[in-house]
């Protein structure tokens, strides 16, 4: 993972919280002079939680002794707002407050009157830890997304597809509703790929993915299994019919595509498997739909067939 750069640290968003105007002005000037570009402040501790909700500061520099709502109460309130790692650097002139502040969630402290170079080093170090934490979290989310989605189209991959199918089957049994899968394969995609190149082929696959997503509802799942094969999981209710959806998809995919000025046309064949008639588990239902797709290809393509 990349190391956090100095520019990232200096551009991080900092909030200064102190009820004394002179203290706020001094801290802002010291931070700006040190090169920090995004420094905000408030003299009202009751605003801190709402400000954090809106702006997601990377560091809060918090005075502990304030009238009305003191720094300890702010620390407690922030626990309800920020479930991630939030560095709070507390300022206090009372040594007895240090341990209590650390127990209450502060990550570090500065004793008043503070030494400026020491304060700046503590700010720098805490921001570096915060940004490294964010990078690790974002990296983990990216890896998780890659494990469940097709990197080209962003659609669900086979792993996520099987999970969504199993979930749809649970809902179908519970609600006594319907569920079906459409197994799709583009007709003549290889010829287009060979003629226009892989870049155009990838662009076409992404356009097809967008059309498939537009035809179905939000609660349905569109997946790409690789190559030019797609699967759609349909949750059927209120008399909805998988064949009607398949017809809409065939019509939508057949509309022309503009790829770098070329008028590209492709069709799709579909096999339909209905739960539980054609399979009681995801793999069995996928197999039935795949066999139905084979029948659609034999029937001349650009059509759908329902599993027998």
pLDDT in tens, 201-245: 999 999 999 999 999 998 899 999 989 999 999 988 755 689 999
The rounded distance, in Å, linking the Cα atoms of 159 and 149 is 8
More confident residue, 292 or 92: 292
HSE (side-chain half, CA atoms, 13 Å) at 86: 28
3-state secondary structure of 265: coil
Task: Determine the average pLDDT of the residues in 102-120.
Answer: 89
Which tens digit of pLDDT belongs to each residue from 34-62? 999 999 999 999 999 999 999 999 999 99
Q: Quickly state the pLDDT bin for 184 (edges 50, 70, 90).
A: very high
Lowest mean pLDDT among 17-21, 58-62, 183-187, 260-264: 260-264
Mean pLDDT score, 95-99: 84
Closest by CA to 234, choosing from 179, 197, 274, 306, is 179
247: pLDDT strictly greater than 80: yes
Whole-number average pLDDT of the chain: 90
The pLDDT assigned to 201 comes to: 93
Going along the chain from its start, the domains and CATH numbers come out as 6-147 (3.40.50.2300), 158-306 (3.30.70.270)
| H helix runs in the chain, sequence order | 6-10, 21-33, 48-55, 71-81, 96-103, 116-148, 158-175, 189-196, 198-215, 242-253, 282-298
Mean pLDDT for 195-206 is: 92
pLDDT at 240: 61
Residue 170: pLDDT band (50, 70, 90) is confident
Average pLDDT over residues 9-20: 95
Residue 135: what pLDDT?
79
Instruction: Name the active-site residue from 185, 187, 228, 290.
Output: 228
- In this prediction, what percent of the chain has a pLDDT beyond 90? 65
Model pLDDT, residue 261? 86
CA 289 – CA 225 distance, rounded (Å): 14
Q: Spell out a b/e string for 208-231, using b for 16 or more CB atoms within 10 Å of the CB, else e.
A: bbebbbebbeeebbbbbbeebbbb
Mean pLDDT check: name the lowest of 83-92, 268-277, 288-297. Answer: 83-92
241 is catalytic: no
pLDDT higher than threshold 60 for residue 16: yes
pTM confidence score? 0.57
Q: What is the pLDDT of residue 161?
A: 92
Residue 1's pLDDT band, with cuts at 50, 70 and 90, is: very low
């Amino acid at each position: 993972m990349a190391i956090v750069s100095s520019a990232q640290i200096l551009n991080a968003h900092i909030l200064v919280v102190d009820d004394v105007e002179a203290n706020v002005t001094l801290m802002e000037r010291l931070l700006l002079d040190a090169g920090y570009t995004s420094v905000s402040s408030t003299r009202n501790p009751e605003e801190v939680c709402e400000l954090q909700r809106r702006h997601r500061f990377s560091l809060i520099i918090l005075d502990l002794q304030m009238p009305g709502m003191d720094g300890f109460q702010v620390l407690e309130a922030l626990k309800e707002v920020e479930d991630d790692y939030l560095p709070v650097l507390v300022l206090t002139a009372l040594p007895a407050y240090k341990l209590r502040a650390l127990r209450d969630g502060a990550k570090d402290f500065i004793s008043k009157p503070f030494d400026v170079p020491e304060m700046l080093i503590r700010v720098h170090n805490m921001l570096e830890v915060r940004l490294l934490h964010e990078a690790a979290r974002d990296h983990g989310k990216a890896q998780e997304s890659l494990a469940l989605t097709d990197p080209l189209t962003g659609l669900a991959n086979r792993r996520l597809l099987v999970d969504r199918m199993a979930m749809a089957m649970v809902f179908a049994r519970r609600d006594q509703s319907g569920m079906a899968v459409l197994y799709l394969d583009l007709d003549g995609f290889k010829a287009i790929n060979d003629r226009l190149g892989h870049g155009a082929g990838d662009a076409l696959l992404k356009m097809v993915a967008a059309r498939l997503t537009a035809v179905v509802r939000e609660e349905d799942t569109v997946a790409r299994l690789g190559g030019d094969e797609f699967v759609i999981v349909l949750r059927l209710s209120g008399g909805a019919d998988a064949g009607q959806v398949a017809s809409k998809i065939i019509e939508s995919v057949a509309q022309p595509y503009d790829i770098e000025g070329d008028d590209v046309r492709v069709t799709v064949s579909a096999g339909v498997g209905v739960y539980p008639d054609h399979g009681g588990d995801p793999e069995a239902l996928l197999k039935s739909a795949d066999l139905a797709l084979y029948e659609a290809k034999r029937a001349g393509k650009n059509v759908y067939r329902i599993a027998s």
